[in-house]
Amino acid sequence: MDKKELEFILQEGEGFKTEFKESFDPKNLSKELVALANSEGGRILLGVNDKGEVKGIQTTNKLKSEIQDLARNCDPHIHVELETVDNLLIINVEEGINKPYRCSAGFFLRQGSNSQKLSTDEIREFFNKEGKILFDESINKEFSFENDFSKSKFEEFIKKAGLSRTIPDKDILKNLGVLTETGKFKNAGVLFFCDNIEGFFRHAIITCVLYKGIDKQFIIDKKDFHSDIFTNYNEVLNYFYKNLKLIYKIEGFGPRKEILEIPDGALKEAIVNAIAHRDYNEKGANIQIDIFDDRVEVSNPGGLIIKEEEFGKRSLSRNPLVFGLLQKLDLVEQVGSGINRIKGAMKKAGLKEPKFQFGKFFAVTLFRPTLEEAGKIAGKETTQKTTQKTTQKTTQKTTQKTTQKTTQKTTQKILELIKENPRISRRELAEKIQNITEDGIKYHLNRLIKLGLLKRIGPDKGGHWEVLK
């Protein structure tokens, strides 16, 4: 490893194949050796703290010997190579060929940038059931780097992840774990960095359906999204923004604020959870998102791969490499925290607790607010049960009139600002209009596009708006 590559790794931070350790701790180091050997291999940088700050470490023959002993004491033995760059000691761990590996503390597997402890049965089942290997880490033999790699999607990822370009692109892809040393592309790389996803995986689709009522009898709208993972994520979010309602919240004596009826954070977590944990080996199904009058359901093929009683307490991803790339985009945090964040967001918003279903599919149901719940969220007085039927109609009419007036004012202001500056951003619009979030701006922009009043020319970055009428 040269200094340029080291500089890039430090800037990139911990990931699926990279672990930082400030000092030598035999017990913790054994866990990391095992986790990397059970995954794809990787490296451990001794002398670097969790923030990526170089503290340095004194490299002695005794230290090197102790590390080699730790690797030999794992079961089976793990092969490691040691190298020093400046005042750091780098431990290179090869992917094991006799998985699963364990140390005295047990079995560990790499999940994103963390090492997760597993039971013997779990890790054996995960790697060896019916000879199945991890889908996202498998080499895609049909993919041609010269013909199929999307430079634009890679550039977008680099910007979003905040990575520097101090080393060649192929070296960056290797560090991300999607390109092998022999130049072979893995399935995770195809899912993120390819324009023609359908040409490789027809089932890597997210289907969104809007229904009238509380069952699947009447379909109002249906959309299939079959692009790369990051684009699909954003398309689904836009679909939510178009088809869910805004609530005008009153806080004290301050101005009203626009918020989505289901918390933005809960929706994002549900989408990411489905993408990260879906079973891509199940070719007859795809991620399904159903919007009903009273709820939103997000389901993905593939049931739990942990015990049901451990759900929400710990997590194991079917696609650890995909999970790690989502971490780079700041779309997920640590393993196992997403479910609790969904619950917390719904509770904080005063909505019903989400419902989770297990089976061949995993599904999460997010309940839309009732009229009474919407009133509480907006900061209004709720009606008594005895007068609820009478007042609901009046409340609905009043709310509709108020909402229509506020919406008209907001959309008119947006169109005026865009006419003045066609390259204005959502953040700038929110700042100028005030009392509205960026998500609220996004909702109104999508609505204007749907009404044929506005058109987007070019990409999100570098493009501009065109007012049509």
- CA atoms lying within 13 Å on the CB side of residue 200: 26
Per the listing, tokens 């760059």 go with 85
Q: Do 343 and 226 share a structural domain?
A: yes
Whether residue 425 lies inside any domain: the answer is yes
pLDDT at residue 336, as a whole number: 57
- Bridge partners, 465 (sequence order): 456
Q: How many other C-beta atoms can be found within 10 angstroms of the C-beta atom of residue 320?
A: 25
Q: How far apart are CA 52 and CA 14, in angstroms?
A: 8
Q: Do 14 and 153 share a structural domain?
A: no
pLDDT at residue 290, as a whole number: 97
Backbone φ and ψ of 183, nearest 5°: 85, 15
Q: Do 354 and 307 share a structural domain?
A: yes
Q: Sign of the CA dihedral 371, 374, 378, 381?
A: positive
Q: Write down which residue in 374, 409, 436 finishes a domain.
A: 374
Q: Do 461 and 407 share a structural domain?
A: yes
Whether residue 382 lies inside any domain: the answer is no
Q: How far apart are CA 161 and CA 382, in angstroms?
A: 45
Q: Do 226 and 364 share a structural domain?
A: yes
Pairing assessment for the beta strands 102-103 and 106-111 based on DSSP bridges: antiparallel
Burial annotation 300-318 (CB, 10 A radius, 16+ → b, else e): bbbeebeeeeeeeeebbbb
Which amino acid is residue 351, in one-letter code?
L
Q: Do 331 and 186 share a structural domain?
A: no
Q: Do 308 and 258 share a structural domain?
A: yes
pTM of the model: 0.62
The answer to whether the beta carbons of residues 110 and 136 sit under 8 Å apart is no
Q: How many other C-beta atoms can be found within 10 angstroms of the C-beta atom of residue 353?
A: 12
Tokens of 119: 């039971």
Q: Do 111 and 243 share a structural domain?
A: no
Whether residue 394 lies inside any domain: the answer is no
Which range, of 49-53, 167-171, 350-354, 371-375, averages the lowest pLDDT?
371-375
Whether residue 381 lies inside any domain: the answer is no
Tokens of 37: 């050997």
Q: For the segment 49-95, what is each residue's pLDDT rounded down to a tens digit?
A: 988 899 999 999 999 999 999 999 998 889 999 999 989 999 999 98
Q: Sign of the CA dihedral 448, 454, 455, 460?
A: negative
Whether residue 234 lies inside any domain: the answer is yes
Q: How many other C-beta atoms can be found within 10 angstroms of the C-beta atom of residue 2?
A: 8
Pairing assessment for the beta strands 42-46 and 218-225 based on DSSP bridges: unpaired
Q: Do 210 and 343 share a structural domain?
A: yes
The CATH code of the domain that includes 413 is 1.10.10
DSSP states of 114-137 as a string? Answer: EEEEE-HHHHHHHHHGGG---TTT
Q: Do 162 and 121 share a structural domain?
A: no
Domain that holds residue 73: 3-131
- Assign 1 a pLDDT band (cuts: 50, 70, 90): confident
Q: How far apart are CA 394 and CA 237, in angstroms?
A: 32
Q: How far apart are CA 134 and CA 140, in angstroms?
A: 12
Whether residue 391 lies inside any domain: the answer is no
Q: Write down which residue in 374, 409, 441 finishes a domain.
A: 374
The answer to whether the beta carbons of residues 312 and 340 sit under 8 Å apart is yes
Whether residue 160 lies inside any domain: the answer is yes
Q: Write down which residue in 131, 153, 168 finishes a domain.
A: 131
The CATH code of the domain that includes 227 is 3.30.565.60
Q: How many domains does the chain have?
A: 4
Q: For the segment 220-230, what is each residue's pLDDT rounded down to a tens digit?
A: 999 999 999 99
The CATH code of the domain that includes 43 is 3.30.950.30
Find, among 102, 62, 98, the residue nearest to 82 by Cα.
Answer: 62
Q: Do 326 and 189 share a structural domain?
A: no
Q: Do 168 and 267 share a structural domain?
A: no
- Assign 392 a pLDDT band (cuts: 50, 70, 90): very low
- Bridge partners, 300 (sequence order): 362
Q: How far apart are CA 390 and CA 196, in angstroms?
A: 55
Whether residue 322 lies inside any domain: the answer is yes
Per the listing, tokens 């990051």 go with 230
Tokens of 266: 């809960």
Q: For the segment 395-454, what is each residue's pLDDT rounded down to a tens digit?
A: 444 444 444 555 677 888 899 899 888 889 888 888 888 778 777 888 888 888 877 888
- Assign 385 a pLDDT band (cuts: 50, 70, 90): very low
